[in-house]
């Protein structure tokens, strides 16, 4: 993807102006153009999500907020807006299940930070264990070293779990339904309907056959949905 900073800045500004004037379709078009110019920021995805929500495009809004959170897991406002979108879909009678627990935890954690903490705590714990073993300490310092090493090992285990959680949510094909449809029992438009899926629903895409993608509901059944109704959360902007 080419990067045009000036074009992206112009389109982002045009999007903001259109949003403030209530022209949400124009805002969406401008934000899409800014993304197409090579900008891939949490703020831009957040703004696009707001514009899509105002325009009634709940599926695209949920997708944009999910992508904003991938780029800034600590963005509380984006998370609140995502929950608002899904709650509104649920009130309309749709089933809009959130990501499962591991995926929700992983989405909140910076993977680089988790990996760094894991490495640091493991190195420090090993250093303390070696120091405790290789030198004749009096009982009090020996006990203190043992406690410190145990604490660091516990921290390392937690950091390892966090690293694993981030890998799960970023590497398993989580997608958002941008257009409602029916998941079928086979990758065929004439196959029996397995279950309906509504826009903004988060699910996992596992494989593709023809124009259908196999999807799994969080903790639920699986089926085949038209690929055009899905957008992967981790896909680059087009």
In a domain, 112, yes or no: yes
pLDDT tens string for the chain (238 positions)? 567 888 999 999 999 999 999 999 999 999 999 999 988 899 999 999 999 999 999 999 999 999 999 888 889 999 999 989 988 887 765 444 444 554 455 445 555 565 666 667 767 767 767 776 766 666 676 667 677 767 766 766 766 665 555 555 444 578 889 998 999 999 999 999 988 888 988 888 888 999 999 998 766 788 999 999 999 988 766 5
User: At 66, which CATH number?
Assistant: 1.25.40.10
Boundaries of domain holding 35: 5-93
The total number of structural domains in the chain stands at 3
Q: Which of 37, 62, 93 is the last residue of a domain?
A: 93
Q: Which strand ranges, in their side-by-side order, compose the sheet holding 222-226?
A: 193-197, 181-184, 222-226, 212-216, 202-209, 174-177, 230-232
Say whether both 11 and 79 belong to one domain.
Answer: yes
In a domain, 99, yes or no: no
Say whether both 132 and 58 belong to one domain.
Answer: no
Q: How far is CA 206 from CA 47, 83, 164, 179, 221, in A?
A: 29, 25, 19, 18, 13
Say whether both 9 and 88 belong to one domain.
Answer: yes
Say whether both 13 and 89 belong to one domain.
Answer: yes
């Amino acid at each position: 993807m080419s990067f045009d900073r000036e074009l992206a800045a112009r389109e982002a500004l045009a999007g903001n102006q259109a949003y403030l004037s209530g022209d949400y379709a124009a805002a969406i078009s401008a934000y899409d153009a800014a993304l197409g110019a090579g900008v891939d920021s949490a703020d831009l995805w957040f703004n696009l999500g707001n514009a899509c929500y105002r325009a009634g495009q709940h599926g695209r809004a949920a997708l944009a907020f999910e992508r904003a959170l991938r780029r800034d897991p600590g963005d509380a406002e984006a998370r609140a807006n995502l929950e608002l979108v899904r709650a509104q879909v649920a009130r309309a009678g749709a089933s809009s299940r959130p990501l499962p627990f591991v995926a929700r935890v992983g989405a909140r954690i910076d993977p680089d930070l988790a990996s760094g903490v894991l490495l640091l705590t493991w190195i420090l714990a090993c250093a303390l264990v070696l120091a405790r073993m290789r030198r004749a300490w009096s009982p009090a310092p020996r006990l203190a070293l043992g406690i410190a090493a145990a604490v660091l090992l516990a921290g390392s285990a937690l950091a390892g779990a966090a690293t694993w959680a981030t890998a799960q949510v970023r590497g398993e094909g989580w997608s958002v339904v941008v257009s409602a449809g029916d998941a079928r029992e086979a990758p065929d438009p004439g196959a029996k309907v397995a279950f309906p899926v509504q826009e903004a629903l988060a699910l996992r895409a596992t494989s593709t056959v023809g124009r259908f993608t196999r999807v799994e509901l969080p903790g639920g059944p699986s089926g085949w949905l038209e690929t055009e109704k899905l957008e992967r959360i981790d896909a680059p902007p087009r």
